[in-house]
């Protein structure tokens, strides 16, 4: 690695590391149905790139319920109980790790001076449930989660600080890289001055992610140059 700076990698989950076959959307819809009688609370907007708490806040507003912390917590608690069911019942062909991601994470973890974590709008328990299904949750030693902050910029900042602590390095001396599949991931990365690598494995093309400000973007992590960008890029 030569003189490479200490590096913190923050991987998004949905659409980036994995596709869950809609398990998360079904679980949150079921929670709204149970608590508020509205299975359609989230039907009018895209969940891509949103934090769990921001999703619930918006959906509560749509159905005319005050988005108090208690109301948000209640929906999240219900969501987590249903998520376990939905993740288990989703067919293998619809629930998978995206191409090249297992290998990229493993290679990064094999290098000294790199901390490999999560940067996700999922609350921590939701992240665990989703990633344990495909056997990769234990690959991430830390993270910034949707329960750390509702705002994606701030949860990414939290994750970056955790990674820097793990490396025993000041955050300002670290190279921080956010890997995600939406313009919201790009915005969050830029919000803390981090590098962003976009992947076209979600709802946005690599070109759309570049136009949003990503430093690099690839169809997936088997693409030529993707691993180099992760480990050695600017």
**Model pTM score:** 0.95
**In the chain, what are the domains?**
7-20+95-232 (3.40.50.1000), 23-89 (1.10.150)
pLDDT tens-place string over residues 133-173 = 999 999 999 999 999 999 999 999 999 999 999 999 999 99
Give the orientation angle of helix 23-36 with respect to helix 52-62, to 10 degrees.
40
What average pLDDT does the segment 72-78 reach?
A: 97
Average pLDDT over residues 56-83: 97
What's the confidence (pLDDT) of residue 4? 80
């Amino acid at each position: 690695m030569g003189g490479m700076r200490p590096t913190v990698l923050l991987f998004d989950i949905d659409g980036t590391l994995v596709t869950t076959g809609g398990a998360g959307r079904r679980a949150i819809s079921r929670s709204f149905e149970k608590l508020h009688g509205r299975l359609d609370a989230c039907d009018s907007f895209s969940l891509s790139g949103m934090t769990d708490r921001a999703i619930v806040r918006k959906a509560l507003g749509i159905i005319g319920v005050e988005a108090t912390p208690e109301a948000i917590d209640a929906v999240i608690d219900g969501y987590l109980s249903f998520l376990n069911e939905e993740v288990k019942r989703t067919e293998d062909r619809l629930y998978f790790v995206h191409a090249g991601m297992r290998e990229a994470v493993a290679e990064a973890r094999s290098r000294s001076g790199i901390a490999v974590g999560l940067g996700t709008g999922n609350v921590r328990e939701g992240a665990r449930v989703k990633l344990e299904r495909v056997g990769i949750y234990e690959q991430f030693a830390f993270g910034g989660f949707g329960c750390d902050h509702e705002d994606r910029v701030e949860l990414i900042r939290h994750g970056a600080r955790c990674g820097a602590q793990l490396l025993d390095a000041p955050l300002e001396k670290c190279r921080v890289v956010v890997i995600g599949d939406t313009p919201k991931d790009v915005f969050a990365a830029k919000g803390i001055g981090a590098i962003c690598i976009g992947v076209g494995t979600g709802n946005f093309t690599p070109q759309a992610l570049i136009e949003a400000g990503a430093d690099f973007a690839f169809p997936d992590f088997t693409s030529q140059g993707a691993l180099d960008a992760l480990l050695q890029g600017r």
